[in-house]
Each structure stands twice: as C-alpha cells, then as structure tokens.
Amino acid sequence: MIELKLSKEREARIWFENFPRATVGGHVREYSRLIDGRVVAPIHQHCTLELFVPLGGRFNYGLLGCQIEAPAMQATTVVVDASHQRTESFTGSLAHRVELVHWGLDSEFVDSVFEGAARGIAEYGRPSGRIHFNVAAHGDVGATAKMFSRLARLVIALVVVPGSDRETVSRHLETYLLE
C-alpha cells in the first residue's frame, strides 16, 4: 500500500496488491458495458484507489478498485459490481473521522464508474483484458457521482501507465485533482 498526503489536506491510498476486501453481504448485481479503445498491456493486474478530498466545510470520499481478468477481443468488457443494500462498515477508511463508510458501491454510482472508465480508456488506452470494478467503499455524505467517475478514470490510468512509485503516483494524482 502507498499512503500519500497530497496538497490541500487531500489524502490517498493505493493498493497494487494485497488490496482491501470485505465480504459484501446481500445481493450484488453485475453491470457490464463494452468500451472500445487502443489496447495497451496493463502494468498492474489490480489497483485500488481511496481518496479523501476536503472541500471547505464538506468533503468527497470514495474507494474503487478493479482487477484485469481474461483477455478481451475487439472491445473491452467493463464490469461494475453494485448493490442497493447496506454492507459492513469500513472502519479504517480515510474518512472515518467524519463519516461512516460502508463497503460496496451503491448502484446510483454505476453510470459514473462507466463514464470515468470510458474517459480513462480514451486517454490512456484499454488494458488487454476484462476490467472488473469489484472493490468499492462509499459513505452517505462524501460519495458523489463525480468522485466515482474520477476514481474510475484514475484507476484505469494507474493500471496502464508505467510508474507506480510514490513520487510518480503523487504527481499524477495532484495533476488530475487540479482539473
């Protein structure tokens, strides 16, 4: 795990292996879409990114991870796991001081993950494999559609762009978060 203290009190954690995982109770639904783009070899088979972004009197928070699975053919299948049901708490989250965070992705953010993944694939290329967003955590206050779109785009970048050292990842996150 890489822990980063970014500018403006923002925090990030990135896992390329030994990623956080919780047993998600209840019914998990798989959503999928085909997304085309330039094929690139993935640098990592897995990446999970957690972001905490203070914004004055409020904040944004989210955790999203994907795994690159079996090779794809003409277009990449992007799969997102989501649920409407409350899941177990993630007490070690970056937002634990200000919000109760639950494992899983609420289905209201599925389209945002697809949008962010499509933007990431358009910018950085698509990994040669099925992209399965199967790790997520969110809270009721800090989770937003924009945050999960950003997370998906950044996770795609971290999977395919060389350089997973602390300095390169920190510079990449700072540049993207300033947009």
Q: What is the pLDDT of residues 135-150, one digit of tens each?
A: 999 998 999 999 999 9
Rounded CA separation 175/25 (Å): 36
Q: What integer pLDDT is reported at residue 130 of this predicted model?
A: 86
Please state the domain count of the chain.
1
Global confidence as pTM? 0.89
pLDDT above 50: residue 73: yes
Q: What integer pLDDT is reported at residue 174 of this predicted model?
A: 79
The larger pLDDT score, comparing residue 151 to residue 164, is at: 151
What are 54's two structure tokens? 């203070």
pLDDT band (50, 70, 90) for residue 72: low
pLDDT above 70: residue 22: no
Helix, strand, or coil (residue 163): coil
Report the pLDDT averaged over residues 139-164: 90
pLDDT above 80: residue 71: no
Report the pLDDT averaged over residues 120-147: 90
Supply the mean pLDDT for the chain: 85
pLDDT above 50: residue 23: no
CB 3 within 8 A of CB 13: yes
Domain that includes residue 90, residue range = 2-177
